[in-house]
Structure 1
Amino acid sequence: MEMMNWKDFKNELLANPQLTLQFKYADDKWVDASYHITEIKRTLVNSVDCGGVLNAWTEVVVQLWEPEGQQEERAMEVSKALSIIQLVEKSLPLNPDAVVKVEFGNSTYDTRQLLPKGFIVDGDNLTVDLRPDSVTCKAIERGGSCGTTSTGEECCAPPVQVKPKIQLVNLASSATACTPGSGCC
């Protein structure tokens, strides 16, 4: 699944400030209308993958909290979410190319970070369609393979250092060879 960046996410909100902002986190499962955007995080990720390659990227994580008991009958308007974003960006610059994730959980759904798959405009509602992220092997993403041999070492071990080959010459058969005691060495 293509990951959405912060610029595209924010631009979709800016294009629809008058709509009500909803979040769908699974088929027929919606974040309750009483949700709050509790914080927006900028996460710098640095990792080394199974092939020994250093990776780095930035994520913007929008955290949603669903309080106990319904407090609102209607979710916040997009304009309210934009005012929260504006407040955050005054103190915390957010990379427009950062990957966007939405962090959510409640009493029946374990907290996790979800990816916005897209936006759905339906009447007065702008719905963010969230889907779980999946795990992959970066060696495969680089065009390599992972686990396809019996050992799987092509991505799960440091790169093998290739030693240069040295040509061996039999010096004993050469006419100019030194012999013990001849003083040539």
Structure 2
Amino acid sequence: MNQTNHVTWQNFKNTLLQHPDLHLQFQYTAENLVDASYHITEIKQAPIVSVDCGGVMNSWTEIIVQLWEPELNTGKEAMLVSKAWSIIAVVEKVLPLNPLGIVKIEFGNSQFDTRQMDPGAFLVSENNLIVNLSPDLVQCKAMERGGSCGTSHKGEECCASVAEVKPQKIKMPLINMDANSCALGSGCC
């Protein structure tokens, strides 16, 4: 995963530390802030291990901050950054979080499907620290490396359309099974 376009956990915490007396707001669309009555319900650490279409193993860690917006909006001001910091401190006493982990903010409500978003710009406006959230983008790591998808495709791009990729025939051996081979108690299932 290309970490240069993402906010790390350490950078996220450092930004919060710079503004302890501001109210922490999250903007999930150009017109909408998460309601001020939100809660930080949990912080998750997710180690990700994947193999891309080029056969290359990738690994990274994501730190997911989950926000919950209650149905009854209280109309009060959002929590102070210092309150968010105290929640982080409670979490990190139990679960040491990877400072290089990529931060995701997980949020959804009745008008906005739950998803994980990247914290983009951090904006100070009056007495608020506003975290502008943006959708994460899907990527093809093999294409980003400038290569093909590995030797099994013989130089063909993995992301070529289905019509462009020639299917490979696989010969499957036949298995001779008599009627008793999967009898009750035989141990086959």
- Report what 2:141 is aligned to: 138
Q: Sequence identity, in percent? A: 61
Instruction: Render the CA deviation track for 1:118-165: whole Å, top value 9, x for unaligned.
Output: 20001110000000001010012212257xxxx9833369xxxxxxxx
Q: 2:28 aligns with which of 19, 22, 25?
A: 25
- Report what 2:52 is aligned to: 49
3-state secondary structure, aligned to 1:9: helix
**Residue pair 1:144, 1:155 contacting (<8 A) in 2 also:** no
* CA distance in structure 2 between the partners assigned to 1:156 and 1:127 by the alignment: 38
- Report what 1:163 is aligned to: none
Q: 2:65 aligns with which of 46, 62, 65?
A: 62
* CA distance in structure 2 between the partners assigned to 1:89 and 1:138 by the alignment: 32
1:13 aligns with 2:16: yes
* CA distance in structure 2 between the partners assigned to 1:153 and 1:92 by the alignment: 44
Instruction: Render the CA deviation track for 1:29-65: whole Å, top value 9, x for unaligned.
Output: 1100010000000000011111111111000000000
**Residue pair 2:7, 2:102 contacting (<8 A) in 1 also:** yes
* CA distance in structure 2 between the partners assigned to 1:101 and 1:118 by the alignment: 13
Q: 1:97 aligns with which of 92, 96, 100?
A: 100
* CA distance in structure 2 between the partners assigned to 1:144 and 1:73 by the alignment: 53
3-state secondary structure, aligned to 1:155: coil
1:82 aligns with 2:85: yes
* CA distance in structure 1 between the partners assigned to 2:133 and 2:82 by the alignment: 20
What are the equivalent positions in structure 2 for 1:134-173 lying under 5 Å apart? 134-144=137-147, 153-155=156-158
Query: What amino acid is the match of 1:48?
Result: V
Query: What amino acid is the match of 2:48?
Result: V
**Residue pair 1:115, 1:131 contacting (<8 A) in 2 also:** yes
Which of 1 and 2 has greater Rg? Answer: 1
Greater displacement, 122-131 / 66-75: 66-75
* CA distance in structure 2 between the partners assigned to 1:55 and 1:16 by the alignment: 35
1:122–1:152 CA distance, 2 compared to 1 (3 A):
farther
**Cα RMSD after superposing both structures:** 1.9
1:71–1:111 CA distance, 2 compared to 1 (3 A):
same
- Report what 2:175 is aligned to: none
Which 5+ residue runs of structure 1 have no aligned equivalent? 158-185
* CA distance in structure 2 between the partners assigned to 1:52 and 1:156 by the alignment: 13
* CA distance in structure 1 between the partners assigned to 2:89 and 2:31 by the alignment: 31
3-state secondary structure, aligned to 2:120: strand
Query: What amino acid is the match of 1:41?
Result: K
What is the TM-score with the length of structure 2 in the denominator? 0.77
User: How many residue pairs are counted as aligned between the two chains?
Assistant: 153
